[in-house]
Chains A and B, each alone.
Chain A
Amino acid sequence: MMDRPESLGQPVQIRGLEKSYGGTRILQSLSLDIPAGCFCTLLGASGSGKSTILKLIAGFETPDGGEILVQGQDLSRVPVHRRQIGMVFQNYALFPHMSVHENVAFGLKMRRIPRAERESRVGEALEMVGLKEFGHRYPRDLSGGQQQRVALARALVIRPRILLMDEPLGALDRGLRQGLQQQIRDIQQRLGMTTVFVTHDQEEALQMSDMIVLMRGGQIEQLGSPREIYSQPKNRFVARFLDDCNFMSLQNRNVSIRPQHVRVGSSAHVADHVMSGRVESMIFLGTYRRISLTVAGETMTARLSSENMEEFVVGQDTPVGFMESDVMPLEEI
């Protein structure tokens, strides 16, 4: 990772956090340590409680129990407007009656930062997100991606202790998302900003994070680096949430294997585990072919890279195999 000369980020510790709404438990005794400067992604389906954690850290909601510490300081007695936490909202929440410049300057005005310093900090922040020339424009004159960057600049200009982002790219189209993901990640690393990022998009989580926290039903299912969580899933839920996956029982072990590691046809002969299967369907998807097979009465999916030119026909019997090193053992089902 990059060196961080003056790291802004502070560590966050969450201890036994509880939250219910009208009898429904949203969070159940949730604990989580986020190191300083870490890009931590809360990943999960809607209703998994990921956004609630964000609201509790920001102070928009009151927890029923537990505590949130930032740099060791308990936030419970700190009102929202004194928490010094930056937040980027899902729909940006830019003030429509203020120009881009005024939006970014708002937090500094609230802190009574002298005009000269304010101007220079707003200028820096806008330059950082590549919108230096847009200060006089109004939010409605900007594209979605530009609005998103203004929201980021507005959150960062107050030099927050942590940055919270609630599905900030959810409303943007695919092409724009990827550029912004890179930009957000660059800025975050440059500032060494502790970031809590909420998304339901596993690809986005894998691309951006230092640490992924996969959530289900108000609890943490598994956490770890993107590589860990992708290639060492604890159970079927985690394995399937991150990508397509085949599950099987292998020598009395419950294991999973990603479709791209399944070999079909002649390449299967040299695999550690070889079985016999029948081709059920084939779909061409550009960079790869997806082949559905029946192996020992179970359905199995394989992804064959387009470089593999071997021909298959539906109904054909073929060897199917995979390497032992690609097998992902599951701790539980």
Chain B
Amino acid sequence: MKPLALPSGSRWSAAHLCGLSVVLVPTCFLAVLFIWPVLRLLALGFGDEAGPFHSYLRVFTVPAYREAILTTFEIAIAVTVLSVMLAYPVAYLMATVSPRMARLIGIGVLLPFWTSALVRTTAWIMLLERYGILNSVLMRAHLIRHPVAFVYNMSGVLIGMSHVLMPFVVFPLYTAFRGLDRNLVQAAMLLGAGPLTLCRKIFIPLTAPGALAGANIVFMSALGYYITPALMGGPAQTMVSQLISFNVSEQLDWGMAGALSGVMLVLTLAAFFLCRGVLEKRLKRRVVTAARPYGEGLSGRSGAGWGMVIAGCAVMVFLLAPIVIVFPMSVSASPILMFPPHGLSFRWYHELLSRPQWAGAFFNSLKVALIAVPVATVLGTLAAIGLARMKGTFAQILEGLFILPMVVPAIILAVGLYYQLTPLGLTRGYWGLGLGQAVIAMPFVFLTVQATLRGFSRDLELAAMSLGAGWFSVMGRIVLPALMPAIVSGAIFAFITSFDDVILALFLTDVRARTLSRLIYENVLQDVSPTITAVAVLVIVLTLGLLLSSLLFQREKS
């Protein structure tokens, strides 16, 4: 009996090799522009002349550093708890109203989620500052006599960060609520569970996986936060990211920056793996699809239910307020931001257009995105397609690598790349920044394409082959078209990531090539001027346009 070697068959048994060759380019890209610079930065942490662990020793002995690590932890935990608490009523609301209403609320949550975090922070400052909108309204209503300090302290940081991060909890929590079977709730009620028991024994345990998944993302992101505490906090709210930046740009103490990065990276990765590995695996088994989702066609609510509805509406106001408020503020005639706005004028838009630095910064942003978005899109897509053909531990390691840029705090990458690229002359102009942003945008493309590939049946490829399609036809006519919606929405995600990025832009480019986000940041650091409100409005309109076009594109395709 002679063994057969089908040329076509060997292609399938060699799927792993084929996958490997496809993921080679994105892997090398990340190795050079992500892993290597981060490792070098970490190595610097052990490079102090006074001994390899000197810098680390200082992290834990110098009060300012110790304080900052504790503060970072405190803020991250507080923001996580706040986000989960704020997300519950919204998710409940979304799960218990009509599908059309739920979609509307969903867009209401997505709206701030997609709007530049920098713009939202700016709007919050406008709302909360000493003579800001909230204080004016409260004083006019005679509820307070003196302005309350909402911002440049802990409350400012918590409000700003929860607002930015909360949507990450709403969506997994909503999915968890949808997965809750109504029969289950009714069964519990028939067995004698009151509202409180119902909440404790049914709702919380069954929605916990969703809440945890979201909380994990919030906690990880919060640990590495930089922009919001810098803009909305005071000196007492200095976080580790700020100290890293301070050590690099003011102290030129690379050893300290390396050690602080090492500590922060260990904390972040610990949080990441703890949740992903231990908790999710244990909780995932409980996730089921409900035959009759709880809340579908719910008739009548209990008192507690109405309480949740009111809380949900309040959170929605909290989510949308900063976005809505910049519109009237941008057309105020007054040179001082006050509420209600005085007179109607477009003078700030005129000023914006008459000052070339704004238009210049805008075009710089576009030029950088023109590098970041195509690179991230192509590499992220290749990574997802290649990985789908691979199995085993090595594939899992690679998958981790492709998500990692999302997990590692941007400041670490920014500083690492700064150290790496400056000698090459790449921290002037667009290329260094564009490639750096491609690194942080790639995971978004990778994840969206990967999600679509999971739903993509391998049988489609086999069917095409049995109908006479060779490898190129299968790729070009079947795989890529099926992935197109995911690739496009991944690219839009990548664009928004690039457009919104401040941290990399602070380190990886010079004043001539500075992007719009960096210019806004530098302005807000001084003062929130009416011109900024006009910029904010334009940025919001731009991102909204993108969001809508992406939604329309997806609807058309599916």
**Contact assessment for B459 and A59 in the assembled complex, using a CB-CB cutoff below 8 Å:** no
- Residues of chain B within 8 A of A83, CB atoms compared: 466
CB closest chain-B residue, reference A61: B9
Number of interface residues, chain A, beta carbon within 8 A: 39
Digitize A84-104: 1 where CB-to-B-CB distance is under 8 Å, 0 elsewhere. 111101110101110000000
Q: Which residues of A contact B7 (CB under 8 A)?
A: 77, 79
Chain B: CB-nearest residue to A29:
B1
Which of the 9-residue segments A62-70, A209-217, A257-265 touches chain B? A62-70
B8 adjacent to chain A (CB < 8 Å):
yes
Q: Does B463 reach chain A (CB closer than 8 Å)?
A: yes
Tell me the residues in window 468-509 of chain B with beta carbons closer than 8 Å to chain A beta carbons: 468-470, 473, 477-478, 481-482, 484
CB closest chain-B residue, reference A111: B468
In the complex, whether A76 has a CB less than 8 A from a CB of chain B is yes
Set of chain A residues within 8 Å of B60, measured between Cβ atoms: none
Q: Is residue B187 within 8 Å, beta carbon to beta carbon, of the partner chain?
A: no
Interface of B is mostly: helix
Complexed CA–CA distance, A86 and B9 (Å) = 17
User: Are B459 and A80 interface neighbours, CB within 8 A?
Assistant: no
Contact A97 B468 (CB under 8 A): no
A58, B468: Cβ atoms under 8 Å?
no
CB-based contact A110/B4 at 8 Å: no
User: Is B423 among interface residues, defined by CB-CB distance under 8 A?
Assistant: no
Please tell me if the beta carbons of A110 and B473 are within 8 angstroms of each other in the complex: yes
Which A residues from 1 to 31 make CB contacts under 8 A with B?
16, 18
B306 interfacial by beta-carbon distance below 8 Å: no
Take A60-B12, A76-B4, A81-B8 as given contacts and tell me if A96 and B469 are in contact as well, using a CB distance cutoff of 8 Å: no
Contact of A63 among B4, B462, B465, B466 (CB under 8 A): B4
Given A62-B9, A79-B8, do A89 and B468 touch, yes or no (CB 8 Å)?
Answer: no
Of A16, A59, A65, the contact of B8 (CB 8 Å cutoff): A59
Docked pose: A83 CA to B460 CA in angstroms: 17
B462 pairs with A89, CB closer than 8 A: yes
The DSSP consensus for interface residues of chain A is: loop
Q: Is B397 an interface residue (CB 8 A)?
A: no
Q: Counting CB contacts under 8 A, is B10 at the interface?
A: yes
- Give the residues in chain B near A66, CB-CB below 8 Å: 1, 4
Are B4 and A67 touching (Cβ within 8 A)? Answer: yes
Task: Let me know if B13 is at the binding interface, CB within 8 A.
Answer: yes
Knowing A81-B468, A158-B467, the reply to whether A18 touches B13 (Cβ < 8 A) is no
Closest B residue to A75 by CB, please name it.
B6
Interface residues of B in 43-90 (CB under 8 A from A): none
Q: A65-B1, A155-B467 are in contact. List 20 more A-B contacts (CB 8 A).
A: A16-B1, A58-B466, A59-B6, A61-B9, A61-B12, A66-B4, A80-B466, A81-B465, A86-B466, A87-B463, A90-B459, A91-B459, A93-B459, A93-B460, A95-B464, A97-B481, A110-B468, A110-B473, A111-B468, A154-B467
> What 3 A-B pairs are tightest by C-beta distance, nearest first?
A62-B9, A107-B467, A79-B8
Give the interface of B toward A (CB within 8 A).
Answer: 1-13, 457, 459-460, 462-470, 473, 477-478, 481-482, 484, 557
Interface on A for B, CB 8 Å cutoff? 16, 18, 58-67, 75-87, 89-91, 93, 95-97, 106-107, 110-111, 154-155, 158
